Amino acid sequence: MIDYIIETENLCKQYKDVLAVNKMNLYVNKGELFGLVGPDGAGKTTTIQMLCSILNPTSGTAKILKLDTIKDAEKIKGKIGYMSEGFSLYGSLTVDENIEFFADLYKVPFEQRQSRKKKLLHFSRLTPFVDRPSEKLSGGMKKKLALCCTLMYSPEILFLDEPTLGVDPVSRREFWKILNDFRKEGITIFVTTPYMDEAERCDRVALLHRGDIIRCDSPSNLRRGLRGEMLDIKALPQKKAWNILNNIDEVLEAQIFGERIHVYVDELNSATNQINKKFFNEGIETIDLRKGVPSLEDVFVSAIQKNTKGIYVESEIELTNKINSPKQIKSKKINEIAIHTDNLVKKFGDFTAVNNLTMTVNAGEIFGFLGPNGSGKSTTIKMLTGLLMPTDGNAKVGGYDAKKEVGKLKAKIGYMSQKFSLYNDLTVEENINFYGGVYGVEGDYLKKRKNWVLNMAGLVGKEDTLTKSLSGGWKQRLALGCAILHEPSIIFLDEPTSGVDPVARRHFWDLIYNLSSEGITVFVTTHYMDEAEHCHNLGFIYNGNLIALGSPSDLKKEKFKGELLEIECNNPFRAMEILQNGSKKYQVSTFGNKLHVIVEDIDREIIKIEDILKDNRFQVDRLEEVPISLEDLFVLLIEEDDRKNRMV
Amino acid sequence: MKGSRTYSIFIKEIYEIKRDPYTLGIAIIMPLILLFLFGYALNLDVKNISTAVLDHDKSLQSRKYIERIKSSGYFDIKYHVSSYKDIEKLLDKGYIRNGIVVPSNFSKQIIRGLPTEVGIFIDGTFPPTAKVTIGYIEAINEKYSGDILKEILRRQGRDFDSIQAVKLEERVWYNPSLKSKNFIIPGLFAVILMAFPPLLSTLAIVREKEKGSIQQIFVSPTKPFEFIIGKTIPYALIAIVEMVIILIVGVYWFKVPFKGSLILFIILGTIYVFCTVSIGVLVSTMMKSQMAAMLLVLVITVMPSLLFSGFIYPIFNMPIFFKVYTYLFPARFFIDISRDILLKGNNIKEMFWNIIILLLYTTIIISIASLRFKKKVD
């Protein structure tokens, strides 16, 4: 008989017309790091609130530490810690005051308080900022402070609701490191996240989709659950290739992942031969074909498809083909400049949000604008779209001056904000009509454009549906449709895919590709580094400064010297410490549940590192060279920039 | 009680208020603005009534009559016109509130000792002012007629000090100068303390709901009353400061008499403030957004305290249904208490029932608010 620390039985939560959580049965062991993974609206927050006994379930029971969440709610409180989504500290209170406030709430004895506070501040590297108001901390520091506040009173279970949403990769890694350090105290951690790489760090993961747990197991078991082996293929034209793959007997499953297709087969070699043969016969150009390592995202996508019996995804794939972009838009004009900024500056009081930004975006390009929250991304977009007046410098967008010709500029651009600016109480068609009115699209032209948007978003037949009852993916495509109703030549997308499930995210990127191939310039911000890989060019902004600019491949070549070794082993944090502090001090960082080591000569070091790990009795599952990812690169860039700033 | 949760919530709130000068500024400045606005603008005294005169007679007598009206101090003769049409026009345009017409035979009739008539055209859109105006003119006419009568009698050799048979001996109590500000401002104390403290306390709690920080409190072992008390005491303190400020301005700037006990006023005012603050807490348990909470507070506090409290419109004049309705809002009790202490100088005994009801009301509101406050998110 195992003593579960969290135990739910047929837990349900019904809101007016939505079943948010459906008959959930969940068991978490003491000391476990348990991840609840799913897109926005899957029911993550509802679940965590019910477990923290601040939300009563509609039916079913949940037991925390053997206490019932309804009857013994007050007994549970005080034994658990909870960091709500977007946890909110008191902005005007300093770091120290926030920590003290939470210590007071939980009546932490004064004797323990000082030593614990010191330890937490040290781990989170917040010691220099104790007297700073928390609202003046960066997004990543705020999250770390919030974690410190909840860890002040040594809770038995820690509930974290999307703790690293919108945080830069470096802070995210630090955050997980603190968590790992405190797991040694025996804390059980229950975390929700939309990031699959974070899910990889968990002992066990439950995949939540529309209120149902569709899979629950350890990440490695989940990956093993996928049938056969995986091939990672890039072939053109993709749609035709996908059709062919589906008709090959040996192919168990084929899924489109952005520009790649992931194919599951029983036996690698014979399947590869057969695919190559078929592709050759049908005139498909194979750009890349290799053995792939399935990620949790693959598991999730595959599970969603099975759960909905394939209908969900198939209909979306069909819809990508239906897109008939209007012919008025001229084909790509190479070398035409869409956006150009020259020493653009924006100051708010004595705070410089954007500092001497100079960059050029060519027409028809997908330009990815990356950076942690609060680094100046949204401010830049607001200046480029004429919503905010620059303090200094110049910007030209679509040939118009962003300072003087705002009116003309606005007619040329489309803008989709973080929270899709749709009216939830209007129907799909009413929303389109409204934006038609705003942009002066009317009459037959509006009719034509409306049909185009409905086709593109796959909303034909749903014209009279209230927007609020659409799922995240539909909403997002409708919002995109509304933003480009007037056929702008440049569109700005501000974190268009945050909080959308992986399947919908992929299809959204297919739409972006289509727009780009029609000659439309796409300026997009994102936190997902895999999305950044799909951009033609990238700009990376940190603390208001543009610290890197170029295409993904050029940036990797330029900014990264050396080779990257990926290690999969048990207890990666401990392994990292050993590698960092041995006779040779390696540059190691965590990457999901893996370790990345930067080395100069991989062939020589690979043996040494394997020896070190084996000497220390680690179980090494995998040790191989991998190409550097953008995430690795940006962690390097941020660390480099921080080092420079510390020196100054 | 250092170390208690209530204390740390209280301190946290004080820090937040201190570092957000806007809230504090609004809490202190807005009531003063309201006090000055109402103190000056809401004047029920009728004075300087703009007037046009049409004098068909143009004699010594008619001029004397018009001079009488002018010297009364209530009328501001702005226009001397030559036709009815002009009076009509001026009234239509709203340039004058009334027009006085002296007929062409005015002096002849008086000299002959015969009665004559003076015409008056009044803008009746606001009846109370119109009534007062008529009253003034009637009084002036009576005095003028009396003087003429006296003159006639004197000529006949009969001398009277006064021809008035029954003389009225007026004694106005509590507000002898009959200044409406002495009536308005003590009432305004009740209105202001009803408008701002609940707004501050409700926003303070709903803001934490909106931000989500309240969820951390819910998950902690903090008890509802610890949270409510710690959270609202700072705003009650601000409200008490507010009360003292408007009291000082009322007495020293507007020269409203203060006859009763200051200590009694402060004590009862403090009880009233706790009552209004807890109305704010009660609203915060029902609302999720600051906007909705603000609107609800305005509707249940400011509106009834202006209309159904006896602040301007006397309760005794209201239909029975509304008389009962006024008991639902504590402003009416404190308006009575405030006027009683300031103008009448009453003591506890004379205000006994108002005080008891106020105490009862406060207890009930705080209890309902505490019961409704659940540590749950829905």
The minimal CB distance from B218 to the residues A54, A102, A107 is found for A54
Residues of chain A by 3-state class (helix, strand, coil), percent to 5: 40, 30, 30
| CATH code assigned to A561-627 | 3.30.70.100
Q: Where does the pLDDT of residue A342 fall: very low under 50, low under 70, confident under 90, or very high at 90 and above? A: very high
The minimal CB distance from A54 to the residues B16, B213, B219 is found for B219
Yes or no, beta carbons of A84 and B215 under 8 Å apart: yes
Determine contact, residues B377/B285, Cβ cutoff 8 Å.
no
> How do strand A392-397 and strand A400-401 relate by DSSP bridges?
antiparallel
Determine contact, residues B343/B174, Cβ cutoff 8 Å.
yes
Chain A residues touching residue B376 (CB < 8 angstroms)? 54-56
Average pLDDT, chain B: 85
Between positions 34 and 53 of A, the ones with CB within 8 A of B are: 49, 52-53
Determine contact, residues B128/B109, Cβ cutoff 8 Å.
no
- Residue A296: which of A504, A23, A472, A36 has the closest Cα? A36
Contact with chain B for residue A73, Cβ under 8 A: yes
Q: Is the pLDDT of residue A523 over 50?
A: yes
Domain assignment present for residue B123? The answer is yes
CATH number of the domain to which B99 belongs: 3.40.1710.10
A157-182 pLDDT, tens digit per residue, is 999 998 887 677 778 888 888 888 88
| CATH code assigned to A4-221 | 3.40.50.300
Chain B residues touching residue A158 (CB < 8 angstroms)? none
In A18-98 the beta strands, taken as DSSP E runs, fall at 18-29, 33-37, 59-64, 67-68, 80-83
Q: Are both B14 and B117 inside the same structural domain? A: no
Give A106→chain B minimum CA distance, Å: 7
Average pLDDT over residues A513-530: 85
Q: Is the pLDDT of residue A498 over 80?
A: no
B-chain residue closest to A133, CA distance: B19
A214-260 pLDDT, tens digit per residue, is 889 988 888 877 777 888 888 877 778 888 888 888 888 887 766 67
| CATH code assigned to A337-551 | 3.40.50.300
From the centroid of its chain, how far is CA A276? Answer: 34
Structural domain containing residue B128 = 49-155
Give the pLDDT confidence score for residue A324 in this predicted structure: 38
Determine contact, residues A136/A126, Cβ cutoff 8 Å.
no
Chain A residues touching residue B231 (CB < 8 angstroms)? none
Peptide bond into A237 cis (omega under 30): yes
Residues 6+ apart with CB under 8 A from B118: B65, B100, B101, B102, B103, B106, B141
Q: Boundaries of CATH 3.40.50.300 in chain A?
A: 4-221, 337-551
Contact with chain A for residue B3, Cβ under 8 A: yes
For residue A1, give the DSSP letter: -
B-chain residue closest to A157, CA distance: B219
Q: Are both B12 and B105 inside the same structural domain? A: no
Domain assignment present for residue B260? The answer is yes
Average pLDDT over residues A128-145: 85
Q: Is the pLDDT of residue B354 over 90?
A: no
- % of chain B beyond a pLDDT of 90: 11
- Side chain identity, residue A405: E
Q: Are both B33 and B102 inside the same structural domain? A: no
In degrees and rounded to multiples of 5, residue A570 shows phi and psi of: -75, 155
Q: Are both B210 and B64 inside the same structural domain? A: no
Residues B148-185 as b or e (16 or more Cβ within 10 Å = b): bebeeeeeeeeeeeeeeeeeeeeeeeebeeebebbbbb
A251-300 pLDDT, tens digit per residue, is 888 877 666 788 888 888 888 888 888 888 888 888 878 887 787 888 88
Yes or no, beta carbons of A105 and B222 under 8 Å apart: yes
Chain A residues touching residue B7 (CB < 8 angstroms)? 104
In whole angstroms, give the CA distance from residue A305 to residue A443: 40
Domain finish residue from B155, B171, B192: B155
Dihedral (CA of B57, B59, B61, B67) sign:
positive
Q: Are both B333 and B309 inside the same structural domain? A: yes
Give the pLDDT confidence score for residue A397 in this predicted structure: 92
Contact with chain A for residue B142, Cβ under 8 A: no
Average pLDDT over residues A533-538: 87
Contact with chain A for residue B322, Cβ under 8 A: no
Give B9→chain A minimum CA distance, Å: 7
Contact with chain A for residue B378, Cβ under 8 A: yes
The minimal CB distance from A56 to the residues B211, B212, B376 is found for B376
The minimal CB distance from A78 to the residues B211, B221, B377 is found for B221
Average pLDDT over residues B285-296: 90
Q: Are both B208 and B284 inside the same structural domain? A: yes
The minimal CB distance from B377 to the residues A54, A74, A81 is found for A54
Q: Is the pLDDT of residue A330 over 80?
A: no
Chain B residues touching residue A87 (CB < 8 angstroms)? 212-213, 216
Give the pLDDT confidence score for residue A513 in this predicted structure: 83
Chain B residues touching residue A78 (CB < 8 angstroms)? 220-221
Domain assignment present for residue B166? The answer is no
Residues 6+ apart with CB under 8 A from B172: B178
Domain assignment present for residue B168? The answer is no
Give the pLDDT confidence score for residue A325 in this predicted structure: 36
In degrees and rounded to multiples of 5, residue B53 shows phi and psi of: -120, 135
Q: Is the pLDDT of residue A506 over 80?
A: no
Determine contact, residues B341/B260, Cβ cutoff 8 Å.
yes
The minimal CB distance from A86 to the residues B212, B220, B376 is found for B212
Q: Is the pLDDT of residue A312 over 50?
A: no
- Side chain identity, residue A51: L
Q: Is the pLDDT of residue A146 over 60?
A: yes
Yes or no, beta carbons of B221 and A100 under 8 Å apart: no
Yes or no, beta carbons of B219 and A97 under 8 Å apart: no
Annotate A393-449 with DSSP letters as a single string. Answer: EEEEETTEETTT-HHHHHHHEEEE-SS----TTSBHHHHHHHHHHHHT--HHHHHHH
Helix (H, G, I), strand (E, B) or coil at A71: coil
Q: What would the two tokens of residue B136 be?
A: 């003034």
Which of A87, A88, A148, A152 would you mutate first to test chain B, the one with the most B CBs within 10 A?
A88
Yes or no, beta carbons of B376 and A92 under 8 Å apart: no
Yes or no, beta carbons of A54 and B376 under 8 Å apart: yes
Q: Is the pLDDT of residue B98 over 60?
A: yes
Q: Are both B355 and B285 inside the same structural domain? A: yes
- Residue B84: which of B126, B131, B52 has the closest Cα? B52
Q: Are both B254 and B121 inside the same structural domain? A: no
Between positions 199 and 258 of B, the ones with CB within 8 A of A are: 211-213, 215-222
A181-208 pLDDT, tens digit per residue, is 888 888 999 999 877 778 888 889 999 8
Q: Are both B74 and B110 inside the same structural domain? A: yes
Architecture of domain A226-322: 2-Layer Sandwich (3.30)
Determine contact, residues A199/A404, Cβ cutoff 8 Å.
no
Q: Where does the pLDDT of residue A507 fall: very low under 50, low under 70, confident under 90, or very high at 90 and above? A: confident
Contact with chain B for residue A135, Cβ under 8 A: no
Q: Where does the pLDDT of residue A328 fall: very low under 50, low under 70, confident under 90, or very high at 90 and above? A: very low
In whole angstroms, give the CA distance from residue A469 to residue A424: 8
Domain count, chain B: 2
The minimal CB distance from A105 to the residues B211, B220, B375 is found for B220
Q: Are both B233 and B347 inside the same structural domain? A: yes
Domain assignment present for residue B169? The answer is no
| Cross-strand pairs, A622 | A568
Give the pLDDT confidence score for residue B165 in this predicted structure: 58
Q: Are both B218 and B344 inside the same structural domain? A: yes
Q: Are both B151 and B13 inside the same structural domain? A: no
Contact with chain A for residue B16, Cβ under 8 A: yes
Q: Boundaries of CATH 3.30.70.100 in chain A?
A: 226-322, 561-627
Which of A50, A84, A87, A89 would you mutate first to test chain B, the one with the most B CBs within 10 A?
A84
Between positions 338 and 377 of B, the ones with CB within 8 A of A are: 375-377
The minimal CB distance from B221 to the residues A82, A84, A106 is found for A106
Domain assignment present for residue B171? The answer is no
DSSP run (H or E) holding B98: strand B98-102
Give B281→chain A minimum CA distance, Å: 20
From the centroid of its chain, how far is CA A244? Answer: 31
Give B271→chain A minimum CA distance, Å: 29
Count of A-B CB contacts under 8 Å: 82
DSSP run (H or E) holding B325: helix B320-326
- Residue A516: which of A538, A535, A544, A497 has the closest Cα? A535
Yes or no, beta carbons of B12 and A93 under 8 Å apart: yes
pTM beyond 0.95: no
In whole angstroms, give the CA distance from residue A624 to residue A603: 10
